[in-house]
Amino acid sequence: TGCGKTTQVPQLVLDDYILNGKGAMANVIVTQPRRISAIGVAERIASERCERIGETAGYSIRLENKRSAKTRLLLCTTGILLRRLQIDPDLA
């Protein structure tokens, strides 16, 4: 509790990909149970990386998303992830 598991672990994974020259291949999805949590965590990660939301870190919730082609850490609700798994056969 409060040690940074939600914000730090995804960044460590992404940073490892970047250090190994595979940053462009990274696609880390982190689920949050509520919309406000997904937005807040994405904003926190973007802030820690000195970036704007939607660059490396973004979010996708029902009816709203802030991401770009450069987004490598995506925070989303579990419902959004389940929908992506149903639609994209490569993820299943």
**The whole model's pTM is what?**
0.89
Confidence of residue 79 (pLDDT cuts 50, 70, 90): very high
Residue 92 has a pLDDT of: 64
Q: Whose structure tokens read 């056969």? A: 89
Rounded mean pLDDT, 31-39: 95
End-to-end C-alpha distance for the chain, whole angstroms: 31
- Strand runs labelled E in 1-92: 28-32, 57-61, 64-66, 73-77
What average pLDDT score do residues 17-40 get? 94
DSSP annotation string for 70-82: T--EEEEEHHHHH
Mean pLDDT of the chain: 93
> Given this model, what pLDDT does residue 52 score?
97
The proportion of the chain whose per-residue pLDDT surpasses 70, expressed as a percent, equals 98
Task: Report the distance separating Cα 21 and Cα 4, nearest Å.
Answer: 25
